[in-house]
Amino acid sequence: MAGPAGGHRAAPGGRRRSLRPGPLRAAAVAAARARARARARARCCPPRPRACRSRPRKVPWPPRDAPWQGCPVTSPHPVASLGGDARAPAAGPAPQPPPCLRWRSPRRLRSGAEAEAGPDTSPGAHEGLCQCPAAMACQRSTKLNLLRLTVLLVVALAGIKFLFRDSLTLELHKHVSKDSGFWGDAGDTSQGAGPRSQALELPVAKITAPRQGPGQQVPKDISATEMRLVHLDLKGAAPKVSYLEQLFPLLSRLGANGVLIEYEDMFPFKGDLEVLRSPYAYSEEDIEWIQQLAELHKLEVVPLVQTFGHVEFILKHEKYQHLREVERFPNSFNPHVPDTLALLKSLLSQVMEKHRRSSWIHIGADEVFHLGEGMDSKSWMSHNRGDVGTMYLKHIKQVLGFIAARYQGLRALMWDDMLRKISAGALRESGIAKHVSPVVWFYAPDFEVEQIGQFLAKYAESGFEAVWFASAFKGTTGPAQAWPPLNHHVRNQLSWLRVMQAVPRFAPLRFQGIVLTGWQRYDHYSVLCELLPVGIPSLAVCLQTLVHGGFMEETRRKVLDVLGFQSMQLEQGTCEGRGAFPGVEIYRMVEQVNGHLKESIQKALEEESGIKGWFSPHHRKHQFGNPRNMESFGSKVLKLHEDWESLVRELRAQLESIYFPDTVEEWMEENVNPYLDQLRDLVRDYRAIIRLNARPKAS
């Protein structure tokens, strides 16, 4: 029978003889071969459309949905028909590829001579116009594997981003009242709601986001350019530069990328402004070194210069009293006196001259108390038919105009409380949105998104492009607070994280950064709040909460590792362990003073029966006492006195290593002496009467 090639016939005796057909015989053989090839082609590939024979197609041929069951190229068992009836393997040489596989690719059809030469078995010959099912399956498998690899890469990148992502008061520090006035009754000077101001309230808003506790995570999607500024309030307890050398590396490690420095009287003003300098003000070399330290640790320095309110450190001087809005109060500038703007230009120029590296400046402008109450302001409003808001914006516009003209590219920030009750139309008409970003502050532990959202909506409508927020890590829970409540401040950060998530609702307004305020005084005349070393654990927890997008176990571990503590109790506001951060010794000793000094002394004076019975105020006044009875309590009192004096001496030494003498004296007088002096007086009288050896009562 004819083999696949058809050129020889087997003789019955087993010998082969050559066939030498004539022309007709040769033609018949050629035709038979052609028919065989056609049948093989029909079995493997359906006929190609006529349009495809004239020019190459860009799509694979045959169609993907052709009912292939197998192929001689990829399978040792060729399929007999499209119906799928498989035949057993034929004996003899391996089957050859069918003629349909002679095309190399969709871009090139073989010539007639090549087609007559037999199947094309060159590399790549089985790709293109006619592909077998196994080859097509291989391609599909390859594409599926590529798709899987792509998905795995996307998941891996998302995981890496998740692991290494950045990100960010008794009532309120700064707030706005519910009444229709500009910022409340002009004469209201009540304290206790914020570091500096009267107590005002925001209206209670409907809950729009789930309230989360310290152990819950807030989803976070914040730009990598988010700024986290740590506020250094130097108008009280300004640290020596040597302490900042230790502090800045810690701030960077905890997730800060900038510091907002409110110099007030610690700046080395010169010339006509030299009167504003504190006796312990930083030198020009100190200012330069601070900036070099910040640059070394990748911290942006943003100077803060008050330009309207909270200028007590200026207006307390007789030289500048004529610039007061109300003659009796040194709080706010009179914006109508030409010397006011001239003074501010001088202040800003001297500060910016020493901060050429800075990209931002903060102009303060918050809590301008008694604005509109001065005679000049009343006259201006009468003649211009204006109101307090218009007058406020007029002054701010002059300040921003000077900055924009003098310092190209310098971006300005300002506290937003005075903007809250100015209409969007007035804000937009003033044009200040082109030159400044509002810093929205709110220090309550729990607040709703809509309480801030009402301001964000107005600022977006007013044309502001960027907005900042301000939380707090200390200095907002009482004017004489000595120990920061950790849980209070962590909850404040969690509330702000919820607001950050809502910012896209107020597009095109965008979130640019957050300031973690650490007020050292409520104002220039108030007492000191928590010292900076005492606030470091609170700052660490707050920063890491913003970095991680919530306070969770990972946040706790990071804080404990950086600060060198073994455990932390948010509710109690305490950390256990030796600690290893700048000022940890002060932290531990202030904890003792704050928690036990007053209590232990009061207990000794009021609950010790021996003192009440044999060493009363009457005995002490007349130096009258029996040593036998006095010795029953004397050793205990002397031991208590000795222990506290020893701790206070060490505390003073540590304070003096960080702070200037005025700060040390003020803090001791406010937090130690009122209680320890009682014990000192008791011990002094005790020793004096013991030496009298039971003499008669002195007259």
Which residues have a catalytic role annotated? 367
Instruction: Report strand pairing: 574-576 vs 466-474.
Output: unpaired
Q: How far, CA to CA in Å, does 209 sit from each of 235, 448, 468? A: 37, 7, 20
Element housing 462 (H / E)? helix 449-462
| Alpha helices (runs of H) in 77-169, residue ranges in sequence order | 112-116, 133-163
CB 566 within 8 A of CB 617: no
Q: Rounded distance, CA 224 to CA 166, Å?
A: 7
Q: Which long-range contacts (CB under 8 A, 24 or more apart) does 626-632 make?
A: 626/694, 627/690, 627/693, 627/694, 630/686, 630/689, 630/690
DSSP class of 80? S
- Residue 514 neighbours by CB distance under 10 Å: 28
Can you read off the two tokens belonging to residue 47? 């006929």
Contact, 106 vs 129, CB < 8 A? yes
Distance CA 591, CA 684 (A): 27
The amino acid at residue 430 is S
Please tell me the total number of residues recorded for the chain in this structure.
699
DSSP state of 228: E
* Residue 296 to residues 251, 290, 292, 304, 592, Cα–Cα distance (Å): 12, 10, 6, 21, 35
How far, in Å, CA of 472 to CA of 200, rounded? 18
Q: Is 447 helix (H, G, I), strand (E, B) or coil?
A: coil
Backbone torsions φ then ψ of 15, nearest 5 degrees: -85, 145
CA dist 336 and 443 (Å) reads 33
What number of other Cβ atoms are within 10 A of residue 76's Cβ? Answer: 10
Half-sphere exposure of 566 (CA within 13 A, CB side): 3
What's phi and psi for 579, nearest 5 deg?
A: 80, 150
Nearest to 493 by CA among 558, 548, 565, 546: 546
Q: 208: which residues sit within 8 A by CB, 6+ positions away? A: 448, 449, 450, 453
Handedness of CA 134, 137, 143, 147 (dihedral sign): negative
Q: Are 358 and 415 in contact (CB under 8 A)?
A: no
Q: Which helix (H) or strand (E) holds 439?
A: strand 436-441
- Taking alpha carbons only, the member of 425, 434, 428 closest to residue 401 is 434
CA distance 634 to 630: 6
57 backbone φψ class: left, alpha, beta (φ>0; ψ -120 to 50): beta
Of the candidates 127, 131, 126, 124, the one whose C-alpha atom is nearest the C-alpha of residue 64 is: 131
Beta bridge partners of 441: 470
